[in-house]
Structure 1
Amino acid sequence: MQIRLEIEKREKDYLSPWAMLSSQTAGREHYEEPDPIRTVFMLDRDRVVHSKSFRRLKHKTQVFIAPRGDHYRSRLTHTLEVNQIAKTIGAGLNLNLDLIEAMALAHDVGHTPFAHAGEQILNQLLPGGFRHTENSIRVLTRVEQHKGRNGLNLTRETLDGVKNHSGYSYGDSKAATLEGQVIRLSDKIAYVQHDIDDSIRAGLLSLEQIPREYLNILGDTHSKRIATLVIDTINYTRQQINNQAELIKVKPSPEVENALRGLREFMFLNIYQGKVCQAERSRATFVIEHLFKYYTHHPDKMSQLYRQIADEEGMPVAVADYISGMSDEYCIEQFSNIYIPQSLVPVYDFQIFSEGPVI
């Protein structure tokens, strides 16, 4: 049964000349016999989906820490939205959707509890610094386990897309594949638009506050803005291909790109760096700093995997690995168990982030 070979033949016959073919992969760190059914990128996707780090994303913050409400985004729902947007763009450009999906589902597995607040705190505490993109690679190649070996042994193409998914420029992706460029852009499209949606739901923002110059270009509703960005990106990138551009960049047209950049800057100024997020950041700092200190002096409270990392790479690295893998809820729970008298826990439980508006 050689279903995989049939799939690889279809890729060669129908995908764009710019697409990354499964049969042309640069391979994995450790050689594996080919799967009879799944291509290498299908295997990557499946390993990510079945990993513990991926499952924990459901309880990791996107923007608001421990929000009260069923409809606010988590890091998992963000990941799924990135996947949907990226696959739509990828389909419009006739790229490898299995590779896109593997990258999309894996891109944020290294995110900390408490969103970028947690990342900033660990960056201060860990010698050498901490970045979630680099940590995602570390999770996929060191912390996760597969068949008794460190890491999931993903393809180099998937890891490259994860490594290069983040950054402030839109058309200057360092990703080695167009599929990786798609992920980089889709991540920005997703978080800017759904963070606007969540901020409006939380009462922290109104549509009237958003600069009209950007809405006139992108649209007044969440769905219209995403549709504009996706369709414009497909059309502008296809135009480059049709014009036989020497270097293809997956990006929107200049007008739409500037509107997206403007919305992103608006969100940073008014939400990400606003009073509510800053207040949550100070409380997250308090929790993570105390947990970092505690586990540094009590490594026996971490599992064997992290004690082994401590022996091989040093205690700060092991503690950062352990804390960065925690969900928001587990992080708060551990803080409560360690530092709050148990007689007060029923009263105190999960209230450390309850100040400010109920969201």
Structure 2
Amino acid sequence: MDPKPYIKGRGAQRNVHNRFFELSHDMRDDFLEFCQKEGEEADNNKTLYLETFPKTIVNKVESPDVGMMYSMNAYQGCEHGCIYCYARNSHEYWGYSAGLDFERRILVKKEAPKLLENQLKKKSWKAQPIVMSGNTDCYQPAEKQFEITRKCLEIFLKYKHPVGIITKNALILRDLDLLKALAKDNLIGVNVSITSLSEDTRRILEPRTATIKRRLETVKILSDNGIPVNVMLAPIIPSINSHEILPLAKATADHGAVSIGHTIVRLNGAIGEIFTDWIKTAMPDRADKVLHQIESCHGGSLNDSRYGTRMRGEGKIAEQINTLVKLARHKYFKSKGMPRLNIDLHEQFKDGQLKLF
């Protein structure tokens, strides 16, 4: 019996220890053998949605190199299961593992629209773009059931407040009516994440995300409807998708994107252990090569937490990646860029309708 079969449809292949817990849970081989003999499931691999009750929903972003001032997240944890996701570590604060728990224990904030409206109505609030999905994808599978993101977009539209979206799910097209209405007043900017043109790569890196074809179609449909789209080629992982930078840039430009962004993968916190375990199972033939090349981008470590260098890396491989992205921008996005969102309308609509006097 293979004591550790590959879990299809998931990124992480196990739960790792939560650094805030003294005790840990381990799936032992003798237990797996017992379950096989008894015809029982050791793990049913199902996703659970758990409601949580935050007091606020808008977060001020302190990191100087993230590119946003405020963010909000309707969900904690993400069923997309992207193996490299930096947000995995945040699940430990909720008492769960950054591994499989991050993908299978999704915390749902049903009160998010109400909390957002309360924030936008405050006399002290001055409009600045609020980015949905600063941590986890606001259009992950849970959104199809709970529609929290759509309700929040209705609030942004009601109060004429600028909003940014980061997603890799074509479900965003469900809300095209609201996005078009926001775009009329330059209140919306969308960032679509596309990390590869290969479906084989996408399936193991990002197992429950929209296909590459659907994501490119999403970029085109949004762009054709006057909604500005930036494509995030992120993260770039040496020897996995680093060779695709120019083809990715061309494909996104051909589908109407006005700009691209990128980061070089960094495996901070528990993600280093999760990624290492995953790649040795999913890509055993190149695991050591990839891990060593990631380390070469971060001074011999899988992670670099220094502001200014953590996103772009250092060394020859990082320099080659950053140069290719610069070349791609010059070749396919010259004289293009995302517009600055409108922050001037909100004050007139703070009570939900236009102030005449």
Q: TM-score if structure 2 supplies the norm length?
A: 0.29
TM (normalized to structure 1)?
Answer: 0.29
Please identify which structure carries the higher strand content: 2
